[in-house]
Amino acid sequence: MAEQIPHRPLKPMKVEDDDQLVSGEQNLDADTVGSELETETADASNALTPSLDFISWINDVPENAERTYGKTKVGQWFCLVLIKLIENKSYETRLYMDEDHRNKDWIGPWYQFWEEARYIEKETWTSYKKANDHITARKHKLEQDLIGEKVYMRVRKMPRDCAENPDRYLNLGDHIQSPLVDGWIHHVGIYAGDEKVYHISPHSNGMAEAWAQKLNSCCRTGKVCPDFADTSTTEIRVVVYRIRLRERQAIVNSASSLANLCYRDGDYDLFRKNCQHFASLCACGEEYMTDAPQLWVTGGLVAGIVGLLGFAAYVGNVSAKEQARREEDQARAEQDRANVQDR
């Protein structure tokens, strides 16, 4: 197995310039944050070549596969691979991204474990030219424009002491979460460095009290522990955007602006306007509930199983009634025959 990428935390950054903050009179919504995608600058990284760790991490392709490296406009390295399956007949292309925290445990929902561990896109082609043209076009798209890219997420579990020492493990702009209700629901926020997190919360004395005061929630700044996590051993996870759509500092700037506006104050909704919608808005420019897919898929599966059991019970009940009716008819017929013979 290839050597895993060692974690190199970014130096915490603070927003000092008030000009970077959105005026309190400005309505910062999904369209406003989303439009920033078009004007963001590249990541602070000045590396001219991908890391050896990333190169060696792509270890599930043949040695003769063609690799094409590039870097997105927000500074994330990627690799497009062209594999010859059958000479002059079949070719395959794959996309690998230099994902954050990939040396940490992946704890995605059960229905996600069929996904490939490393590449996120795969297509087959009938000619080398078509495959190569796809590589060229895909490279250009990733380097020039991330608008319209599909949101690929993967949840990584941080070490047990992360809540106590967040700067040791977390990157600036990480979309972090803490599991609630046995991991079915999560509280989430945006990590801003220096043990600081932006999240939607009433900042009560612990998560239990916070649940009772949820309707008083708004976007606030707090410490990872105890404002975001109850204890120093509370599990912290990172929602990794496999194709990172925004530059790290831009994510924090958006969260800071929303905190200055007391975002969601008086407008909180547990299912439609909660902490998860806030964090995704900052991280990728769209409001959505990150727990929704798991809840929908699992809920649908449970409903399907219950439906099947109910249908089976109904069929079984109908079959039992039909069998009883047949037995009654048979007994009646035998009684009729016996009566005829007696006469």
* In a shared domain, residues 273 and 255: yes
Residue found by looking up tokens 């400005």 in the block: 26
* In a shared domain, residues 202 and 304: no
Looking at residue 15, its pLDDT comes to 38
Q: How many structural domains does the chain have? A: 2
Global model pTM greater than 0.85: no
Regarding beta strands 121-125 and 153-157, do their DSSP bridges make them parallel or antiparallel, or are they unpaired?
Answer: unpaired
**Separation CA 16–CA 22 (nearest Å):** 13
* In a shared domain, residues 304 and 251: no
Question: 316 lies in which domain range?
Answer: 292-324
**Could you list the mean pLDDT of each consecutive 10-residue stretch along the chain, which spans 343 residues?**
35 38 39 44 62 92 94 96 90 96 82 74 95 97 93 92 96 92 79 94 58 67 90 93 95 94 71 82 86 47 44 51 70 69 63
Q: Quick one: which of 110, 235, 106, 105 has its CA closest to 180?
A: 235
* In a shared domain, residues 214 and 76: yes
Residues 5, 103: contact at Cβ < 8 Å? yes
* In a shared domain, residues 59 and 171: yes
* In a shared domain, residues 181 and 318: no
The answer to whether position 93 is within a domain reads: yes
* In a shared domain, residues 270 and 310: no
The answer to whether position 320 is within a domain reads: yes
* In a shared domain, residues 213 and 299: no
The answer to whether position 212 is within a domain reads: yes
* In a shared domain, residues 281 and 299: no
Looking at residue 20, its pLDDT comes to 37
The answer to whether position 314 is within a domain reads: yes
* In a shared domain, residues 208 and 174: yes
Phi/psi region, residue 121 (left: phi>0; alpha: psi -120 to 50; beta: rest), is beta
Measure CA 261 to chain center: 26
What CATH number corresponds to the domain at position 52?
3.90.1720.10
The answer to whether position 250 is within a domain reads: yes
Q: Quick one: which of 96, 93, 198, 105 has its CA closest to 154?
A: 105
Cβ contacts of 324 within 8 Å, gap of 6 or more: none
The answer to whether position 7 is within a domain reads: no
The CA–CA distances, whole Å, from 3 to 58, 69, 176, 212, 257 equal 10, 19, 25, 46, 39
**Separation CA 286–CA 278 (nearest Å):** 9
* In a shared domain, residues 308 and 175: no
The answer to whether position 81 is within a domain reads: yes
Measure CA 156 to chain center: 10
The answer to whether position 11 is within a domain reads: no
* In a shared domain, residues 286 and 297: no
Looking at residue 111, its pLDDT comes to 57
